[in-house]
Chains A and B, each alone.
Chain A
């Protein structure tokens, strides 16, 4: 195991402990007088009607899909950027072609109206 990652491992544990502390302290300091109205779902004083579960716009899903594609693209491009000095010009052009193909995808989505909110 790389030594540099031990620090991250301990950091994850400590970073969880630090915000946990005030919550635990608050448990002892804060009053606790629950009643039915206080524990009800907050909706500006009105009673909630129906389920929280409402069907969401499909548009959210489409944005998430486009995001996923670009996310993977970026993951491919980071090693390309790090190895930049080792690459001849034509390899850089290959990398640019890789990006351009996905630029084509973005413009396809644009033309098809997938980027419109309404």
Chain B
């Protein structure tokens, strides 16, 4: 295996040989080697976020017919670095009435919750932090720390807007976690395993062709988990200032901000792994560096959809947001799960498996759409009708 095909394996082997040649005890070799791996994976995520903020601002600007950042460095590439310097030199205000310890832990926890997902992301064949056999559930578990950090931030600020924002946020996050978990079960079912490497190697046909409806539901509920437009009512400026991070300033605010951007891209990565075949592509097995390229390409596709939705749709109302989840996404996700389990058992190992699952998915999505739009129309009829009022005439 040459360096250009698989640099990670070559460098990893070189470091391992170096550590062994130093005659350290075996436990230390394992520890240092693992620590280096951790630092590489974690800093990959953190360096990525600097670049992502620039991408997002540039793309959002183009959607709004603007130029976006274009002063600092070529194409404004250094804009984020300038912002980081600014955030570092901003005064860090901790309100007098805040609960100091909880207030300071919350932003760190929000970043930890997102970074931890990267520990199980398979970047390319053989490039993965650690291949847990419970990978998919691990991602769900790590997400609950994110919810916790929102609640801690809102409560410890001791500010009415922050607490209201945290409550809205948590109601939204836990509601959309239900369809997200249910649609994460569909790829697990199709792959017959929940290790992340297994998930990728099982996708001889990408799961988006077996479960397109599940992919759509997963993407929508993940956008809601991000708290982005159109689901950004947890930081609706006109109602509750900035939501749960109202009282945060300087770098602590920056951490919440960076965590949100990294989370958005992570959703793109997870979408690529669950439904678009992860690193799979031509010659990816021979040259893992191509695998990384394919994964990033697919992830950016998912990320672009998220940005597109963000720039297109307005914010929705809280009752609509909750009704959409509990009365549309959750029943659809449950129906998909039941149908996938049943049909996959009957048609497994036959040539009909792919077309049957594909059609079943589309039928569920169509039926769900028809029922929900019929319900919306019925509700619209029940709306209070106001009496006609004469228009005021000039005297």
Q: Are B241 and A42 in contact (CB under 8 A)?
A: yes
Known: A11-B119, A100-B338, A106-B334. A67 touches B159 (CB 8 A): no
Q: For the complex formed, measure the closest distance between the CB of A61 and the CB atoms of chain B, giving whole angstroms.
A: 10
The answer to the question of B301 belonging to the interface, with a C-beta cut-off of 8 Å to chain A, is: no
The binding surface of chain B is classed by DSSP as: helix
How many residue pairs at the A-B interface have CB separations less than 8 Å? Answer: 215
Given contacts A32-B92, A78-B136, A81-B185, 12 further A-B contacts (CB under 8 A): A23-B104, A26-B89, A26-B92, A41-B96, A41-B159, A43-B159, A60-B167, A63-B171, A70-B330, A71-B178, A82-B192, A117-B322
Residues of A within 8 A of B345 (CB): 84, 87, 89, 92
Residues of B within 8 A of A84 (CB): 189, 192, 341, 344-345
Q: For the complex formed, measure the closest distance between the CB of B23 and the CB atoms of chain A, giving whole angstroms.
A: 22
Known: A10-B34, A26-B251, A81-B188. A115 touches B319 (CB 8 A): no
Q: Are B88 and A30 in contact (CB under 8 A)?
A: yes
With an 8 Å Cβ cutoff, the count of chain B residues facing the other chain is 86
Chain A 42-76 residues near chain B, CB threshold 8 A = 42-44, 48, 52, 54, 56, 60, 63-64, 66-67, 70-71, 74-75
Known: A67-B177, A115-B322. A15 touches B42 (CB 8 A): yes
Residues of B within 8 A of A102 (CB): 334
Q: Are A14 and B185 in contact (CB under 8 A)?
A: no
Contact with A along B331-352 (1 / 0, CB 8 A): 1001001100110111010000
Known: A11-B116, A82-B194. A54 touches B111 (CB 8 A): no
Contact with A along B294-317 (1 / 0, CB 8 A): 000000000000000000000000
Which single member of B38, B87, B174, B189 contacts A67 (CB below 8 Å)?
A: B174
Chain B 110-143 residues near chain A, CB threshold 8 A = 111-112, 115-116, 119, 129-134, 136-138, 140
Residues of B within 8 A of A16 (CB): 108, 112
Q: Are A4 and B131 in contact (CB under 8 A)?
A: yes
In the assembled complex, the Cα of A19 lies from the Cα of B49 at a distance in Å of 13
In the assembled complex, the Cα of A100 lies from the Cα of B335 at a distance in Å of 9
The answer to the question of B101 belonging to the interface, with a C-beta cut-off of 8 Å to chain A, is: no
Contact with A along B175-209 (1 / 0, CB 8 A): 10110011001001100111000000000000000
Q: For the complex formed, measure the closest distance between the CB of A94 and the CB atoms of chain B, giving whole angstroms.
A: 11
Q: Are A19 and B159 in contact (CB under 8 A)?
A: no
Residues of A within 8 A of B254 (CB): 22
Q: Are B95 and A39 in contact (CB under 8 A)?
A: yes
Closest A residue, CB atoms, query B158? A52
Q: Are B342 and A92 in contact (CB under 8 A)?
A: yes
Q: Are A106 and B341 in contact (CB under 8 A)?
A: no
Known: A7-B38, A14-B38, A117-B323. A85 touches B96 (CB 8 A): no
Q: For the complex formed, measure the closest distance between the CB of A14 and the CB atoms of chain B, giving whole angstroms.
A: 5
7 A-B residue pairs with CB within 8 Å: A23-B107, A40-B96, A41-B96, A54-B163, A82-B194, A95-B341, A96-B342
In the assembled complex, the Cα of A66 lies from the Cα of B133 at a distance in Å of 28
Residues of A within 8 A of B42 (CB): 11, 14-15, 18
Residues of A within 8 A of B129 (CB): 7, 11
In the assembled complex, the Cα of A107 lies from the Cα of B35 at a distance in Å of 49
Q: Are A42 and B247 in contact (CB under 8 A)?
A: yes
Residues of B within 8 A of A30 (CB): 88-92, 250-251
